[in-house]
Amino acid sequence: MKVAVYARYSSDNQREASIADQFRMCRLRAEKEGWTVIEEYSDQAISGSSMIQRPGIQALIMDSARGRFDLILSEALDRISRDQEDIAGIFKRMTYAGVRMFTLSEGEISEMHIGLKGTMNALFLKDLADKTRRGQRGRVEAGKSGGGNSYGYDVVKKLDANGEPIRGDRTINPVQAEVIRRIFRDYAAGKSAKRIAAELNHNGVEAPSGGAWGFSTINGNRKRGNGILNNEMYIGKIVWNRQRFVKDPDTGKRQARPNPEEEWVVQEAPELRIIEDDLWNAAKERQKSIKHERRDDGKGVENHFRDRRRPKYLLSGLTRCGCCGGGYSMISAQLLGCSTRRNKGTCQNNTNIRRDALETRVLNALRHNLMQPELFQEFCDEFTREMNRLRMEGRASIDAAEAEIKKIERELDKLMKLILASGSDDAPTRMMKRMKELETRQRDLRAFLHEADKPPPLLHPNMAHHYRAQVEELYAALQEASEARRMEATDVLRSLVDEIVLTPDADSGKLRIEVRGDLAGILAISLERKKPAGGAGGSQFELVAGVGFEPTTFRL
């Protein structure tokens, strides 16, 4: 019996030794049963309510599909998952792969365990969340912080009579408090958040995150009450329950949702005041005036949001600074520059480039210098061979299953005729048993055919010629006057480019442009598919377009 052991400890039990303890207990049980442990998987400091963000459980699931082991051994079912949907999905996958599940607490896992324990674990999580929120609310109503810490304050560490930590007490940090007052004074005096952030960085003032200041740290979001300019704790008010968090079932990440204002809990805490009312009100008035100016251009806020949803320019959001890794964005009507230098002042890259010049150079590179003919032909040959090999392998297993189904149908017909013609009493019983076995096998084969991935398409050997025709058509569509046709071509092109890195060249004083993308994605245009199956054939490449676009260099 080949066994895989899984262990996990959650963020509410920060004991790294817990993993070793779970592995040790599981190995002892495996030794007692005569099982062979071939692999150990673990997730550390990750909640059991999320499966997507747990690399250990994901690796376990993938290896089970490959038939690496026969049984999963864990301390308890809630170590594998506390989420009802996730644990049911894991059990279903293991059953399909022929892998049993066994825990030290529950023994061999069956459908009954999945239903009962899954419900109990879900109720445990809900009860834990409710108790946590009750505790936070109690602390806020007592004039203490509900959780986390704001810039400008230090956490007060004290113990009660029983030696338990007293949570929620804060005291003003005098150095950070002076930085907060400076930000409010500068903002009320007319300085922008970007300029304030740049000056703080220039003076070596450390940001709340420990790195460099950014304008979003200062501006924040007025509705959510975050950012330096919106934190009401600075005027001696603790506001709790402004928002709640829900987990996205697809990504496993938490998403903020605003709560109605009547559900907010507001508590006065005058001892935490840093900003006087006059200065706070001046900053709020300036925020309102800036918002009003943005509305006065004839468009509503909603229209601005819709405009931002679709990239305004061909390469919007794809350009990066090669010095700091920050974005390259519009710093004027025509020029692109390093966003980090502009917003934080911490990057030394002051080389700008015209947007239309960048687009022209990138398009010419994609059209003419994307590949050297001999290199691309070699890639196409290899890609075609690999895709066709995968197709033949996939087709072989499907053909074998279809052939076996036909053979079973013929044997079932033969058995039925024998049962009707038989005069013996026990012969029909034996033949009926055989028929049930064949029908079970037939159902399994049909289920396999239903779930089997379709083989990749058979590719034409002259794929390079098809590719070139598609690239020419794409380039022509980007030049068309038709807005719909041009936007469609823009979306296709953007899907092929991962990022464009702009790095100053010390010798020429110009920008070196490096275009990175997925060559398999480009090839998929001619296949009329979203993505080649499995990314076969070593699809990742980088196109390096040097100063003046000298001959292209490839890293295939």
Q: Does domain 170-306 have CATH number 3.90.1750.20?
A: yes
Average pLDDT in the chain: 75
- Residue 461: the pLDDT is 56
- Above 90 in pLDDT, residue 264? no
Q: Where is pLDDT greater, at 269 or 300?
A: 269
For the residues 465-485, what does the mean pLDDT come to? Answer: 67
- Above 50 in pLDDT, residue 233? yes
Return the CA Rg of the chain: 32
- Residue 26: the pLDDT is 93
Of the candidates 211, 213, 151, which has an alpha carbon nearest to the alpha carbon of residue 176? Answer: 151
Q: Categorize the per-residue pLDDT at 269 as very low, low, confident or very high, splitting at 50, 70 and 90.
A: confident
- Residue 31: the pLDDT is 92
- Above 80 in pLDDT, residue 456? no
Ordered alpha helix ranges (H), 154-276:
174-188, 193-202, 215-219
Q: Where is pLDDT greater, at 282 or 414?
A: 282
- Above 80 in pLDDT, residue 342? yes
- Residue 489: the pLDDT is 75
- Above 60 in pLDDT, residue 306? no
Q: Categorize the per-residue pLDDT at 177 as very low, low, confident or very high, splitting at 50, 70 and 90.
A: very high
> Beta strands 328-330 and 335-338: pairing type?
antiparallel
For the residues 519-534, what does the mean pLDDT come to? Answer: 44
Q: Which of 72-76, 433-437, 462-466 has the lowest mean pLDDT?
A: 462-466
Q: Where is pLDDT greater, at 252 or 138?
A: 138
For the residues 288-314, what does the mean pLDDT come to? Answer: 55
- Residue 176: the pLDDT is 93
- Residue 276: the pLDDT is 92
Rounded percentage of the chain residues whose pLDDT exceeds 90: 12
For the residues 75-104, what does the mean pLDDT come to? Answer: 86
Letter string b/e over residues 350-380, b meaning 16 or more CB atoms within 10 A of that residue's CB? ebbbebeebeebbbebbeebbbeeeebeebb
Q: Which of 7-16, 97-106, 484-493, 536-545 has the lowest mean pLDDT?
A: 536-545
Q: Where is pLDDT greater, at 409 or 425?
A: 409
The string of DSSP codes covering 330-399 is ESSSSEEEEHHHHHTS-------EEHHHHHHHHHHHHHHSS--HHHHHHHHHHHHHHHHHHHHHHHHHHH
Q: Where is pLDDT greater, at 406 or 308?
A: 406
Domains 2-127 and 170-306 share a fold: no
Letter string b/e over residues 481-516, b meaning 16 or more CB atoms within 10 A of that residue's CB? eeeeeeeebbebbbbbbbebbbebeeeeeebbbbbb
**pLDDT tens digit sequence for 483-524:** 667 777 777 777 767 788 888 887 877 888 887 765 444 544
Partnered with residue 36 across adjacent β-strands are: 2
- Above 80 in pLDDT, residue 411? yes
Cα–Cα distance, 539 to 121 (Å, whole number): 43
- Residue 454: the pLDDT is 60
Cα–Cα distance, 36 to 107 (Å, whole number): 17
- Residue 56: the pLDDT is 87
Kindly report whether the global pTM for this prediction surpasses the value 0.75.
no
Partnered with residue 353 across adjacent β-strands are: 336
- Residue 117: the pLDDT is 67
Class of 2-127 in CATH: alpha beta
426, with CB counted inside 10 A (0-12, 13-18, 19+), is exposed
Domain boundaries, the chain: 2-127, 170-306, 310-388+461-556, 389-451
Q: Which residues contact 84 (CB under 8 A, 6 or more apart)?
A: 118, 119, 121, 122
- Above 70 in pLDDT, residue 446? yes
Provide the token pair at 78.
């809630």
Cα–Cα distance, 220 to 222 (Å, whole number): 7
> Residue 197 in contact with residue 218, Cβ under 8 Å?
yes
The string of DSSP codes covering 102-156 is EETTTEE--HHHHHHHHHHHHHHHHHHHHHHHHHHHHHHHTTS-SSS--TTEEE-
- Above 50 in pLDDT, residue 302? no
Cα–Cα distance, 427 to 443 (Å, whole number): 24
- Residue 102: the pLDDT is 93
- Residue 11: the pLDDT is 59
For the residues 115-142, what does the mean pLDDT come to? Answer: 68
For the residues 344-366, what does the mean pLDDT come to? Answer: 84
- Residue 47: the pLDDT is 64
Classify residue 143 as left (phi > 0), alpha (psi -120 to 50) or beta: left
Cα–Cα distance, 199 to 213 (Å, whole number): 9
The string of DSSP codes covering 50-66 is -STT-HHHHHHHHHHHT
Cα–Cα distance, 279 to 185 (Å, whole number): 7
3-state secondary structure of 168: coil
- Residue 511: the pLDDT is 85
For the residues 335-340, what does the mean pLDDT come to? Answer: 89
> Residue 144 in contact with residue 167, Cβ under 8 Å?
yes
Rounded percentage of the chain residues whose pLDDT exceeds 70: 67
Read off the amino acid at residue 261: E
Cα–Cα distance, 167 to 157 (Å, whole number): 8
Provide the token pair at 298.
């004839």
Provide the token pair at 438.
């064949």
- Residue 13: the pLDDT is 46
For the residues 126-153, what does the mean pLDDT come to? Answer: 71
Q: How many CB atoms lie within 10 A of CB 393?
A: 12
- Above 60 in pLDDT, residue 143? yes
